[in-house]
Structure 1
Amino acid sequence: MPTHNADIAAALNEIADLLEIEAANPFRVRAYRNAARTVENLSREVGEMLAAGADLTELPGIGKDLAAKLRELVETGRLRALQKLKREVPESLGELLHLPGLGPKRVHALYHELEIETPKQLYRAARDGRLRELHGFGEKTEQKLLAALEARLGTTRRFRHAVAAQYAEPLRDYLAKVRGVERAVIAGSYRRCRDTVGDIDILVTATNPEAVMERFSAYDEVVQVQSRGSTRATVTLRSGLQVDLRVMAAESFGAALHYFTGSKAHNIAVRRRAQSRGLKLNEYGVFRGGKRVAGGTEESVFAAVGLPWIAPELRENQGEIEAAEAGRLPELVTLEALRGDLHAHTTATDGHASLEEMAAAARERGLEYLAITEHSRRLTMAHGLDPKRLREQGRAIDRLNGRLRGITLLKGIEVDILEDGSLDLPDEVLGELDLVVAAIHGKFDLSRERQTRRILTALANPNVHILAHPGGRLIGEREPYDVDMPRIIRAAKRHGCFLELNAHPERLDLLDTHCRLAKEEGVKVAISSDAHSVQDFDHLRDGIGQARRGWLEPGDVLNTRSLTALRKLLQRRQ
């Protein structure tokens, strides 16, 4: 049974969680965290790399011991070190670490003083007011935990889009190889590029549906076959992801693809439009009376109701039907339109590759320029740069640009926005750079007014070009901080600043709704990888999906411009 990168990263993070609860050496914990991040961000499966004879110790943060553990996971699906820890510490305690306000010390106290091991037990204790009795908790912490637990326990598990891809795409490819299969497509929220995915829908056309059902049920990652018929089946994968398969006739495939892509609100609106024309629309086709008039392709379905084809990312019933009718659908940005990346890190701070290695990797992906934006000095854990080190790196970039071909490095910084809105480095230093990306990395719980004012103050600084990951969210781990985003977007327009769409799969920040608001206000968006390794440039694909959901066209995106045009925009800001 294959072990995907997401499985490996989860195992490494689980070890780190349990070690933290045991109060193990922080450097050891960090080594597992960094290794998990490296594996999760790889564009190739670790199993494929091992099969090709790759040396895993060449990966960032992977030494001999960790490389051996990765091999053990791939070859056996288990890890002895993790099993040992689970015998010592209840594994459910690791879940508690992901709740707001709970660090290893507090989880340790919950376990040893109140015998709390699971989120449900913690919920009951918080509901009963027992947490505030513990040293270091208090009523405010108790109420915050209660709210977080109510939200978490009341929802089904969702997978980040990039994680779902590790399970859905190999399964689709597996089905596509079944004899007689003509098409195999992933539909649902995955196709619409939602940032999280609850389950997977796969549609297939095939000459032998029974053979497809048999192979689907026998897939080696299936742990439960929930239902199985002649043309449809539902299974649960080892990862917990539910997959629904439907084998459709060729003449119905387009209608089924439209129906199962969704969203529900979009489908209802299109179905009502069909009804107003005397048509019936369902997953089998478009019918006038008993005669099918369309359905083989999505294009034919839309044409039957008087519309051009609408890109899946737009199908949320948020104005796309009206725009299609009026001929105003956006020509959405594509990965190929990007000419540069405006947020990347190297080994000078918390990155895993040198200036030259990052430049080469960006060039291999067809990029013409790359901004090196290390953390500033306040982020001591990331070895942030002070003015002296930043100037030294600038000189190194100048020297490297002198011999680089096909790509240009820009001198930048990801400067911290302090609590009062001032910046972590002096203006005279920031003024020497090509690009300044301003970011919040702490004090996430300020009031809405204070957090908004903090950002507005930073945007007013004439040295700031881009506001990085503007909402501050980590999908499934940290909610966006409370800010007045429309006010921030209007301020960015007023000051000539730009907003980042951070493409890291854990962030995808801007939200799609804020991308669209930025577009409407005329504020350009930079789709940036936030790369910390050469593999991380692959995140740009995820950023493109989010940008398309936000209706962004190439002209709305800052880094679709040539280097000359980009420099003019940056200089105009200053």
Structure 2
Amino acid sequence: MNNADIAEHFSLLSKLMDIHGENSFKSKTYSIAAFHIEKLEHPLLETDRSSIASIKGLGPSVASKVIELLDTGSMTTLQEFIEDTPEGVREMLRIKGLGPKKIHTVWQEMGIQSIGELEYACNENRLTRYKGFGAKTQANVLEAIRFYNQHIGHFLYAQIHEVFPGIQNYLENIFGKEKVLVTGDYRRQLLTIQELEFVIKEKKEAIFPKFKTAYPPELLEDTDEFIVYKLTNGLKLRIYFGDENIYKKQFLTSAGEQFIEAFFQKQINLF
């Protein structure tokens, strides 16, 4: 688990605490910790455990949770908040301009537990009855929901580029660097990307156990050629597997259909 992963856990914990109306001082403590952890130049994984609490922005309470993450891959406190928060409420965090404290009002005071219910409430002009939700705010929320629904599952290349190293490093650590190749639209550097694709030189049976973590991704597809997972941020992860020439499979899965068709029509043999 790298620093970015750890910071993400604390950031989510802070947001969920605000959504539940917990002590704002505590939630801010975890938000500050996430900020400082993400800025660290040295990996916490390689840091002396006894010195973690003395790192700027952390402290004993945060340090104990960092160590728990490093040892187990999960954080008990965060897991409890996740289990106590409806999935639809957690999804609201993806709506631009709708922060945790507003989500608290939407969920706890309005009784709304999904983005669909929230959109319906906006259309009925119900949000304006509550403190902090004027007509302009309601209009902005509705616009953000419609934008989210139109682009759900679509990511800009720049967004994927930020999370790609963490995913690649994870796969290389568990399967071996020489067995993992990036492919698909990310390798082609398309402007928008719906899924991140890799070719892994392994049998399918060896792949499933590696994803049985404390926060396992959702399995969407399971075929004889690939497996598709959905990560917590909504990004799909497609994994091609097999013992055959993985460079050939990388080529075939990263080139466009028209190029592949022209390639074989000319009977070019590179493999």
TM over 0.5: yes
Give yes or no for the alignment of 1:294 onto 2:231: no
CA contact (8 A) 1:161 1:194 kept: no
Change (3 A) 1:184 1:73: closer
Please give the residue correspondences for 1:34-53 in structure 2 after superposition, counting only pairs within 5 Å.
Answer: 34-41=32-39, 46=44, 48-49=45-46
CA contact (8 A) 2:2 2:43 kept: yes
Shift of 1:68: 0.5
Among 141, 144, 152, which residue is 1:148 paired with? Answer: 144
Shift of 1:227: 1.9
Shift of 1:29: 3.0
What is the aligned-residue identity percentage?
A: 23
Query: Counterpart in 2 of 1:201?
Result: 197
The superposition leaves residues 191-231 of structure 1 with CA deviations (integer Å, 9 ceiling, x where unpaired) of: 34568753232235x6xxxx5333223324465383242xx
Change (3 A) 1:225 1:160: closer
Instruction: Output the amino acid matched with 2:8.
Output: A
Among 195, 218, 227, which residue is 2:222 paired with? Answer: 227
Give yes or no for the alignment of 1:261 onto 2:257: no
Instruction: Output the amino acid matched with 1:120.
Output: G
Other structure's SS at 2:203 match: helix
Other structure's SS at 1:78 match: coil
Please give the residue correspondences for 1:398-547 in structure 2 after superposition, counting only pairs within 5 Å.
Answer: none
Query: Counterpart in 2 of 1:190?
Result: 186
Shift of 1:173: 4.8
CA contact (8 A) 1:175 1:212 kept: no
Shift of 1:30: 2.9
Query: Counterpart in 2 of 1:212?
Result: 203
Shift of 1:125: 0.9
Give yes or no for the alignment of 1:163 onto 2:166: no
Query: Counterpart in 1 of 2:121?
Result: 125
Where is the helix percentage greater, Structure 1 or Structure 2? 2
Instruction: Output the amino acid matched with 1:66.
Output: V
Shift of 1:101: 4.1
Query: Counterpart in 1 of 2:174?
Result: 174
Among 236, 239, 261, which residue is 2:229 paired with? Answer: 236
Query: Counterpart in 2 of 1:386?
Result: none
| CA distance in 2: counterparts of 1:233 and 1:188, whole angstroms | 13
Shift of 1:122: 0.9
CA contact (8 A) 2:19 2:101 kept: yes
CA contact (8 A) 2:172 2:179 kept: no
The superposition leaves residues 445-504 of structure 1 with CA deviations (integer Å, 9 ceiling, x where unpaired) of: xxxxxxxxxxxxxxxxxxxxxxxxxxxxxxxxxxxxxxxxxxxxxxxxxxxxxxxxxxxx
Other structure's SS at 2:181 match: strand
| CA distance in 1: counterparts of 2:37 and 2:111, whole angstroms | 34
Other structure's SS at 1:116 match: coil
Query: Counterpart in 2 of 1:17?
Result: 15
Change (3 A) 1:142 1:84: same
Please give the residue correspondences for 1:332-351 in structure 2 after superposition, counting only pairs within 5 Å.
Answer: none
CA contact (8 A) 1:160 1:196 kept: no
* Number of matched pairs: 261
Q: Structure 2: where are the runs of 5+ without partners?
A: none
Other structure's SS at 1:226 match: strand
The superposition leaves residues 242-264 of structure 1 with CA deviations (integer Å, 9 ceiling, x where unpaired) of: 222144854x835x4344335x4
Instruction: Output the amino acid matched with 2:160.
Output: R
Query: Counterpart in 1 of 2:30?
Result: 32
| CA distance in 2: counterparts of 1:31 and 1:98, whole angstroms | 22
CA contact (8 A) 1:253 1:295 kept: no
* Larger RCO (CA under 8 A, 6+ residues apart): 2
CA contact (8 A) 2:171 2:180 kept: no
CA contact (8 A) 1:188 1:200 kept: yes
| CA distance in 1: counterparts of 2:73 and 2:118, whole angstroms | 31
| CA distance in 2: counterparts of 1:133 and 1:25, whole angstroms | 25
Query: Counterpart in 1 of 2:67?
Result: 71
CA contact (8 A) 2:11 2:34 kept: yes
Instruction: Output the amino acid matched with 2:27.
Output: V
Shift of 1:18: 2.9
Shift of 1:92: 5.0
The superposition leaves residues 287-318 of structure 1 with CA deviations (integer Å, 9 ceiling, x where unpaired) of: 43xxx42333xxxxxxxxxxxxxxxxxxxxxx
Instruction: Output the amino acid matched with 1:253.
Output: Y
The superposition leaves residues 91-139 of structure 1 with CA deviations (integer Å, 9 ceiling, x where unpaired) of: 7545435534434553333234321133222112112222233343233
Which moves more between the two structures, 158-167 or 120-129? 158-167
Other structure's SS at 1:201 match: strand
Change (3 A) 1:39 1:245: farther
Change (3 A) 1:91 1:257: closer
Other structure's SS at 2:239 match: strand
Change (3 A) 1:56 1:117: same
Change (3 A) 1:238 1:106: closer
Other structure's SS at 1:219 match: helix
The CA RMSD measured in Å over matched residues stands at 3.7
CA contact (8 A) 1:8 1:36 kept: yes
Give yes or no for the alignment of 1:107 onto 2:103: yes
CA contact (8 A) 1:176 1:183 kept: yes
Q: Structure 1: where are the runs of 5+ without partners?
A: 297-574
| CA distance in 2: counterparts of 1:213 and 1:87, whole angstroms | 30
Q: Highest CA radius of gyration, 1 or 2?
A: 1
Change (3 A) 1:126 1:173: same
